[in-house]
């Protein structure tokens, strides 16, 4: 597997596209891509920090979430990713995304079904979609693309196409975003 680097910096291997789940303006000066795992405790903490950042930087940041389930250590991570994608087929990806991260690790089938009901999803369609081989292949492809971009754990962030190796606290992420905006650094999104 070839890992994509330029000038010793890991670069996002696959640009943001219409296939990605995004929040924020399409033409925002800063694009943050997170590779995450819904069962990962560090990702759960990063979710809270990213939400603070998105609220504070509204209009300045486009946020993208890509799946990187660590199935060997997080056995429910794939089921949670499937649930988010299945909810997305009913235009409720971000609502399920939030519910999964706020669940405190309660990601078994019973709880996931409860979250789908709370979001008023068509439960028959949700149950069918969560079993979709197409959705699972999409998640596995995102994980592979992440690995090719140098992702080796979660959460991993890319800011304007370059891997961000700093803390994932609100303060650290906010400082990185402000620095990029000040410098007008463009990058691959």
State the CATH number of the domain containing residue 52. 3.40.30.10
State how many domains the chain has: 1
pLDDT band at 122 (very low <50, low <70, confident <90, very high): very high
pLDDT at 9 (0 to 100)? 73
Q: What is the mean pLDDT of residues 7-25?
A: 89
Q: Say yes or no to pLDDT of 188 above 60.
A: no
Give domain status of residue 13, yes or no.
no
Q: Say yes or no to pLDDT of 137 above 90.
A: yes
* Domain enclosing residue 111, as ranges: 42-183
pLDDT at 2 (0 to 100)? 45
Q: What is the mean pLDDT of residues 36-56?
A: 97
pLDDT at 104 (0 to 100)? 84
Q: Say yes or no to pLDDT of 186 above 80.
A: no
* Mean pLDDT, the chain, integer: 92
pLDDT at 184 (0 to 100)? 73
Give domain status of residue 131, yes or no.
yes
Q: Say yes or no to pLDDT of 43 above 70.
A: yes
Q: Say yes or no to pLDDT of 1 above 70.
A: no
pLDDT band at 4 (very low <50, low <70, confident <90, very high): low
pLDDT at 10 (0 to 100)? 86
Nearest residue to 83 (alpha-carbon basis) of 115, 48, 39, 50: 115
Please provide the DSSP assignment of 93-153 as one string: HHHHHHHHHTTTT--SHHHHHHHHHHTT--HHHHHHHHT-HHHHHHHHHHHHHHHHTT--S
Give domain status of residue 35, yes or no.
no
Give domain status of residue 69, yes or no.
yes
Contact 153, 171 (CB under 8 A): no
Q: What is the mean pLDDT of residues 92-97?
A: 98
Give domain status of residue 5, yes or no.
no
Give domain status of residue 17, yes or no.
no
Q: What is the mean pLDDT of residues 127-153?
A: 96
The pTM of this model reads: 0.92
Nearest residue to 153 (alpha-carbon basis) of 74, 70, 32: 70
pLDDT band at 82 (very low <50, low <70, confident <90, very high): very high
Give domain status of residue 28, yes or no.
no
Q: What is the mean pLDDT of residues 130-144?
A: 97
pLDDT at 7 (0 to 100)? 59
Give domain status of residue 188, yes or no.
no
């Amino acid at each position: 597997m070839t890992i994509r680097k330029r000038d010793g910096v890991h670069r996002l291997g696959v640009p943001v596209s219409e296939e990605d789940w995004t929040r924020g303006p399409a033409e925002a000066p800063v694009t943050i891509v997170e590779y995450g795992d819904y069962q990962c405790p560090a990702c759960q903490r990063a979710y809270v920090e990213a939400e603070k950042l998105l609220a504070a930087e509204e209009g300045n940041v486009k946020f993208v979430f890509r799946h990187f389930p660590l199935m060997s250590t997080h056995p429910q991570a794939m089921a949670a990713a499937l649930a988010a994608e299945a909810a997305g087929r009913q235009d409720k990806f971000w609502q399920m995304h939030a519910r999964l991260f706020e669940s405190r690790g309660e990601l078994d089938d019973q709880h996931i079904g409860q979250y789908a009901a709370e979001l008023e999803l068509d439960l028959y369609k949700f149950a069918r979609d969560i079993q979709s081989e197409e959705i699972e292949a999409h998640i596995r492809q995102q994980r592979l693309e992440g690995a090719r971009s140098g992702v080796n754990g979660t959460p991993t962030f890319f800011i304007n196409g370059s891997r961000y190796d700093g803390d994932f606290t609100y303060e650290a992420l906010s400082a990185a975003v402000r620095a990029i905006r000040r410098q007008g650094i463009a990058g691959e999104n």
